[in-house]
Amino acid sequence: MKPAFQDLIPHNHCFGCGPQNSEGLKLKSYWRDDGSSECVYLPQPHQCAGPTGFVNGGIIATLIDCHCICTAMAHAYALAGREIGQGQPIWYVTGELNIQYLAPTPIDEAIKLVAKVENVSGKKMTLSCELMNVTEAPSTPYARATIMAIQVPSNWLKHADIPAMCEKS
């Protein structure tokens, strides 16, 4: 199996997708054969909403956000003709995130996110994402989102790898 996008992107301490963040969700994203990307995640009991059986909406937003931004970066490396993480870093951040929460997301089973790059225009990349049952059973997704990823300049490197509160000593 190929490494996850996140295992190839350097300097990533993100709570949702940073391998270096010891308290984070550490989600992992991969290309699918049809050009979309997927991420399977097993929610944890403490990530519950008010009712204990469902996933908190902020956790859902983080999963969608991070899976899509990492997909944007992977796509940008591909457009540049480079392997992810090779050469000058390519970084995207979230400019906009729009989520429709369509049905409660069960907390006691794995969930799957599938993202697609819809459009690239200059520094902006639009992606769509659905969060669904891991079997991709033909039912309504639990959530559907669109996201605007925006490329940031390489001088953002000055923000990278500052000793972080997220690193446990």
Residue ranges that bind ligand MYA, judged by CB under 6 A: 9, 11-12, 14, 16-17, 65-66, 69, 91, 93-96, 122-124, 148, 150, 152, 156, 159-160
CB of 110 to ligand MYA, least distance (A): 21
Helix (H) or strand (E) holding 72: helix 57-79
DSSP 18-58: -TT-TTS-----EE-TTS-EEEEE---GGGB-SSTTBB-HH
CB of 53 to ligand MYA, least distance (A): 27
11/106 with CB nearer ligand MYA: 11
What does the alpha-carbon distance between residue 120 and residue 59 come to, in Å, rounded to a whole number?
Answer: 27
CB of 55 to ligand MYA, least distance (A): 18
Sign, CA torsion 33/11/159/157: negative
85/141 with CB nearer ligand MYA: 85
CB of 134 to ligand MYA, least distance (A): 22
